[in-house]
């Protein structure tokens, strides 16, 4: 959790592969391949849900040369290209998504998504008079990062507890959230609680927009592989010593949930936006 948010996790992984390749001391291409493969698997194993992580690792660790020095250079260049693309993607998403934000909009957001924030801050910098309702996003309260970021831009922002989402939905024009992964059936995986924002928005006929770099799309869902939901330590929620007295109680702490495609009005990516509920790249 020192590095969080699916986009930043992806960039950090690409940086790690690049720096590892740069200092790797090997005598053969076979050894180079084995060590790159080992570090790739290790990085991928650190976070199971954010598909940006394996996508970044696969893109950054590609090489074709049989020569160690050339292969090393290829990995460094591929990693740098990924990092540059990821940085540019946030700007593109901001530009494309902000066109859909109207003057006077009240936007609800959840957790702390750099892609969603790019849309919101770009709309504000374009002169649109907007305000934001940000959820607290228990248990790690990433909403506190979001309100600080929005405050730095001077954007009027209201912080609410997660359970107040439906209560405030009547005041909202649009919901904008980020993505940890998007399946080929258009389903979104994002911070736990995202699906209840989507449900409340659907009920109130409010627009639900997802901001996602193209490297958040999960290629393995094409062949039906499920996206694993990370379950985090229970001490994020409760002091485990309390449970010693409560022998009938268990605590569950899934970090992400699924929002079906039918609750999503639009996915904004760095290559454009789509109203299609089934989006295959």
User: Catalytic residue numbers?
Assistant: 111, 180
Cα 199 from Cα 264, distance rounded (Å): 10
Q: Decide whether 92 or 191 has the Cβ nearer to ligand RUB.
A: 191
Selected from 13, 68, 179, 188, the binder of ligand RUB by CB under 6 A is: 179
Q: Are strands 157-160 and 106-109 parallel, antiparallel or unpaired?
A: unpaired
Q: Total number of residues binding ligand RUB (CB under 6 A)?
A: 16
Q: Out of 61, 190, 221, 259, point to the residue binding ligand RUB (CB under 6 A).
A: 190
Compute the least distance from the CB of residue 35 to ligand RUB, in Å.
28
- Residues 55, 170: Cα–Cα separation, whole Å: 38
CA distance 95 to 126: 10
Rule CB under 6 A: is residue 6 a binding residue for ligand RUB?
Answer: yes
Report if residue 51 touches ligand RUB, rule: CB under 6 A. no
| Dist CA 241 CA 251 (whole Å) | 12
Q: In 3-state terms, what secondary structure has residue 140?
A: coil
Site for ligand RUB in 126-145 (CB under 6 A): 142
Q: How far is the CB of 186 from ligand RUB (least distance, A)?
A: 17
218 binds ligand RUB (CB under 6 A): no
Distance CA 246, CA 134 (A): 34
Q: In angstroms, give the least distance from the CB of 72 to ligand RUB.
A: 29
Residue pair 227/196 in contact (Cβ under 8 Å)? The answer is no
Of 190 and 269, nearer to ligand RUB (C-beta) is 190
For the window 85-114, what string marks contact with ligand RUB as x by the rule CB under 6 A? --------------------------xxxx
| Least distance between ligand RUB and beta carbon 32 (Å) | 31
Which tokens hold the place of 190? 């994002």
DSSP, residue by residue, 207-221: EEEEE--GGGB-GGG
For ligand RUB, the closer of residues 79 and 181 by Cβ is 181
Q: Which is nearer to ligand RUB, 61 or 190 (CB)?
A: 190
Residue 1 near residue 140, CB atoms below 8 Å:
yes
Closest C-alpha among 87, 263, 77 to residue 186: 263
Burial 48-74 (b: 16+ CB within 10 A, else e): bbbbbbbbbbbbbbbbeeeebeebbeb
Choosing from 56, 57, 255, 264, the residue that interacts with ligand RUB (CB under 6 A) is 255
Stretch that binds ligand RUB, among 55-63, 155-163, 172-180, 220-228 (CB under 6 A): 172-180
Contacts to ligand RUB by CB under 6 A:
4-7, 111-115, 142, 178-180, 190-191, 255
């Amino acid at each position: 959790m020192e590095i969080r948010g699916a986009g930043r996790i992806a960039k950090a992984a690409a940086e790690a592969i690049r720096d590892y390749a740069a200092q790797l001391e090997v005598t053969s291409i076979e050894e180079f391949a084995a060590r790159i493969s080992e570090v790739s698997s290790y990085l991928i194993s650190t976070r199971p849900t954010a598909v940006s992580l394996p996508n970044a690792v696969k893109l950054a660790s590609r090489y074709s040369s049989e020569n160690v020095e050339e292969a090393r250079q290829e990995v460094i260049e591929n990693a740098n290209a990924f990092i540059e693309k990821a940085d540019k993607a946030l700007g593109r998403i901001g530009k494309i998504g902000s066109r859909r934000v109207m003057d006077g909009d009240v936007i609800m957001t959840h957790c702390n998504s750099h892609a969603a924030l790019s849309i919101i801050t770009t709309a504000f910098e374009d002169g649109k008079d907007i305000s934001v309702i940000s959820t607290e996003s228990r248990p790690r309260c990433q909403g506190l990062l979001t309100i600080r970021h929005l405050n730095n831009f001077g954007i009027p922002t209201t912080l609410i507890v997660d359970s107040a989402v439906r209560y405030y939905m009547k005041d909202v024009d649009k919901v904008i959230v980020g993505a940890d992964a998007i399946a080929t059936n258009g389903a979104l995986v994002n911070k736990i609680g995202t699906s209840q924002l989507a449900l409340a928005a659907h009920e109130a006929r409010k627009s639900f927009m997802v901001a996602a770099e193209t490297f958040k799309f999960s290629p393995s869902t094409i062949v039906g592989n499920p996206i694993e939901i990370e379950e985090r330590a229970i001490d994020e929620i409760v002091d485990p010593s309390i449970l010693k007295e409560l022998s009938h109680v268990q605590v569950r702490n899934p970090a992400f949930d699924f929002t079906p495609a039918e609750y999503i009005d639009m996915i904004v990516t760095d290559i454009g936006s789509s109203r299609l509920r089934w989006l295959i790249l």
